[in-house]
Amino acid sequence: MVLTQTAYAKINLALHVRKRRDDGYHELETLFAFVDAGDTLSAKRADADRVITVGEFVGGIDDPFDNLVAKALSLLPRTGGLDIRLEKLLPVAAGLGGGSADAGAIFRLVEALHGLPDDWQARAAKLGADVPCCVRSETVIGQGTGTELEPIENDLKGTPVLLVNPRVPLSTGPVFKAWDGRDRGALPQGSAKEIALAGRNDLEVPAVELCPAIVQVLDTLKADNPWLARMSGSGATCFALYDTLEARDAAQARLNTDHPDWWQLAGKLR
């Protein structure tokens, strides 16, 4: 029996950086959301764990046996091994939580076959701040380093979304290091849509300093009049949200013509 899971692309509809913590991390308030597409993982029972990685962006993973998929497997108690095939369709170092989404999919695959331990959230947090939210891949508020999750009224389910990346990798560490340290205020209150509209991404300015192409991506997306266009996470991927599938598809068609070298993914919010 082969089980399959999608590692749903994670986007930050808003990301407020409040302060730098004593432990070196940053205090965050963010609105996580997920697109109904991403990497694909399949699993079948085996005598020992094995991870095979294929796909367009496999070259972005330095060591497929030391990535978050392998690390997630090592953290979860099971009987026997799993043979995992990861098709890497999301760009790496792109602000989409690709590795975290892959790890989250592993948790769901193990849950289907063996169940999860009661402390699965703590185990997920050991892999990265956004791994716990990627396990369920639901629209939630993230606080602290991103591991403290709160439910929210999700009035964005099914919203057409277009993701665009200029194919420039941008690591999270340098972007946070370039942040000016200014607290610009808390995440607004309300439903997911209200927070997204009133929120911001505090990492956009430092990310643009490191990757000026982000400005061109955002300007291009805004030209088609989505109701929101913003950078996700630490970049360089940007997203646009539309009222209709027709508007999204028209924007994607224009992008295919004007910027065929850019990576893009069309979907809907979960």
Q: Of the listed 10, 39, 202, 224, which one is catalytic? A: 10
State in words which class domain 3-151 has. alpha beta
- What are the 10-residue block averages of pLDDT along the chain, 270 residues in total? 96 93 82 98 95 87 68 94 96 92 97 96 94 97 93 97 97 94 95 98 97 98 97 97 98 97 98
d(CA 202, CA 15): 6
**How far is the C-alpha of 236 from the C-alpha of 212, rounded, in Å?**
9
The first and second tokens of residue 238, run together, are: 């940007």
Overall residue count recorded for the chain in this entry? 270
Q: Which amino acid is at 54?
A: V
3-151 and 160-268 have identical folds:
no
At residue 63, the pLDDT reads: 52
Residue 83 falls in the annotated catalytic set:
no
Q: What CATH number has the domain spanning 160-268? A: 3.30.70.890
Instruction: Give the C-alpha separation, 188 to 93, whole Å.
Output: 28
Tell me which residue of 268, 260, 203, 269 sits closest to 237, measured CA to CA. Answer: 203
Q: Is 126 a catalytic residue?
A: no
Active-site option among 39, 130, 202, 224: 130
Reply yes or no: is the peptide bond before residue 94 cis, omega within 30 of 0. no
- The domain spans of the chain are 3-151, 160-268
What does the pLDDT read at residue 60? 66
Angle at 265 between CA 261 and CA 269, to 5 degrees: 155
Query: What is the structure's pLDDT at 65?
Result: 47
Task: Convert the chain into a string of H (helix), E (strand) and C (coil).
Answer: CCEEEEEEEEEEEEEEEEEECCCCCEEEEEEEEEEEEEEEEEEEEECCCEEEEECCCHHHCCCHHHCHHHHHHHHCCCCCEEEEEEECCCCCCCCCCHHHHHHHHHHHHHHHHHCCCCCHHHHHHCCCCCHHHHHHCCCEEEEECCCEEEECCCCCCCCEEEEEECCCCCCHHHHHHHCCCCCCCCCCCCCHHHHHHHCCECCHHHHHHHCCHHHHHHHHHHCCCCCEEEECCCCCCEEEECCCHHHHHHHHHHHHHHCCCCEEEEEEEC
Q: Which residues of 115-130 are buried (b: 16+ CB within 10 A; e: fewer)?
A: ebeeebbebbbebbbb
Could you tell me which of 202, 242, 268, 259 has the C-alpha nearest to residue 12? 202
pLDDT value of residue 21: 74
**Cα–Cα nearest to 80, from 34, 107, 44, 47:** 47
